[in-house]
């Protein structure tokens, strides 16, 4: 029961993503927790035991194109760069977003397949109790939509308070870094107005080796930007499941695998 509580205590997601957003389904807590840049404990990935991130800015130039209206889009990952976020490396593009990153938040994505993909990962990961209410609350209120959004916010608030009190952290402090990598993705469907993508998250298992999970994240173009559609019931666990092999997924360009300082 203790392991299962740990597995479900984060998101994210994500996100899955977030991206959303499945690492949250793998993470287990360490001795401390996160807080706006302050040192805390960490989370490393454990074995998955169950199945189942603001106003936009003008979009950049298209960086990818769809093969067909109903087919998977081809995404050009050239120029993709990585930004550290509490132990997680998140992808960004000068052309596709996020165009604004401030106070732990990230918004503004191109209305292209690459913009949708980056929104799924960046928003999905941030819609998670792990980073504290200064991140998850404005992210969910402004960048998450759908009938499960209110439930997701309530779940994050409840999970955060429970973990914060157990760790003896001050109000608003993050719960601690998470060492995971957004490793690969696969389109379920894409259109200029809505998309669904599976995001693969990987990290070191508590028994050594590599463990992976995939989170299915839906995004929708609304009010000039991509927004994540909340998972069913406001629970990222309903959109995440363990992944034995990433075969058939497209890998992001190489990134340093995250881990605690040596």
Instruction: Give the model confidence (pLDDT) of 135-178 as tens digits.
Output: 999 999 999 999 999 999 999 999 999 999 999 999 999 999 88
Nearest Cα neighbor of 18 from 161, 158, 143, 126 is 126
Residue 76: is its pLDDT beyond 70?
A: yes
pLDDT score for 9 = 33
Residues 6 or more apart whose Cβ sits within 8 Å of residue 87: 42, 43, 177, 178, 179, 180, 258, 260
Least confident of 32-41, 79-88, 253-262: 32-41
**Residue 251 half-sphere exposure toward CB, CA atoms < 13 A:** 8
Q: Per-residue DSSP letters for 120-173?
A: HHHHHHHSSGGG-HHHHHHHHHHHEESTTHHHHHHHHHHHHHHHHHHHTPPTT-
E strand or H helix that includes residue 207:
none
- 78-137 tens-digit pLDDT: 999 999 899 888 999 999 999 999 999 999 999 999 999 999 999 999 999 999 999 999
Q: Work out the number of other CB atoms within 10 angstroms of the CB of residue 86.
A: 25
- 221-244 tens-digit pLDDT: 999 999 999 999 999 989 998 888
Buried b (16+ CB within 10 A) or exposed e, 52-66: bbbebbebbeebbeb
Do the beta carbons of residue 244 and residue 215 sit within 8 Å?
no
Structure tokens at 90: 């998140």
Q: What does the alpha-carbon distance between residue 55 and residue 242 come to, in Å, rounded to a whole number?
A: 34
Please give the backbone phi and psi of residue 163, each rounded to the nearest 5 degrees, phi first.
-70, -40
Residue 16: is its pLDDT beyond 80?
A: no
Nearest Cα neighbor of 152 from 215, 226, 233 is 233
pLDDT score for 112 = 96
Percentage with pLDDT > 90 across the chain: 53
């Amino acid at each position: 029961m203790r392991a299962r509580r740990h597995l479900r205590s984060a998101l994210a997601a994500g996100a899955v993503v977030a991206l959303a957003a499945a690492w949250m389904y793998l993470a287990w807590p360490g001795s401390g927790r996160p807080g706006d840049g302050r040192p805390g404990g960490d989370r490393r990935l454990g074995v998955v035991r169950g199945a189942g991130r603001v106003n936009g800015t003008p979009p950049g130039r298209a960086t990818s194109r769809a093969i067909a209206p109903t087919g998977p889009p081809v995404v050009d990952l050239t120029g993709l760069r990585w930004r550290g976020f509490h132990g997680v490396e998140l992808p960004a593009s000068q052309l596709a977003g996020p165009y604004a990153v401030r106070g732990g938040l990230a918004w503004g994505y191109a209305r292209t397949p690459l913009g949708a993909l980056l929104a799924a990962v960046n928003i999905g990961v941030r819609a998670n109790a792990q980073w504290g209410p200064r991140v998850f609350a404005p992210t969910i209120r402004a960048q998450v939509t759908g009938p499960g959004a209110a439930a997701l916010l309530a779940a994050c608030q409840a999970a955060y308070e429970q973990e914060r009190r157990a760790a003896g952290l001050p109000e608003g402090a993050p719960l601690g870094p998470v060492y995971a990598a957004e490793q690969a993705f696969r389109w379920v469907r894409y259109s200029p107005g809505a998309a669904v993508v599976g995001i693969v998250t990987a990290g070191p298992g508590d028994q050594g080796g590599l463990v992976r999970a995939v989170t299915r994240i839906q995004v929708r173009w609304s009010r000039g930007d991509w927004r994540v559609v909340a998972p069913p019931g406001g629970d990222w666990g309903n959109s995440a499941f363990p992944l034995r092999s990433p075969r058939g997924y497209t890998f992001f360009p190489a990134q340093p695998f995250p881990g605690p300082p040596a």
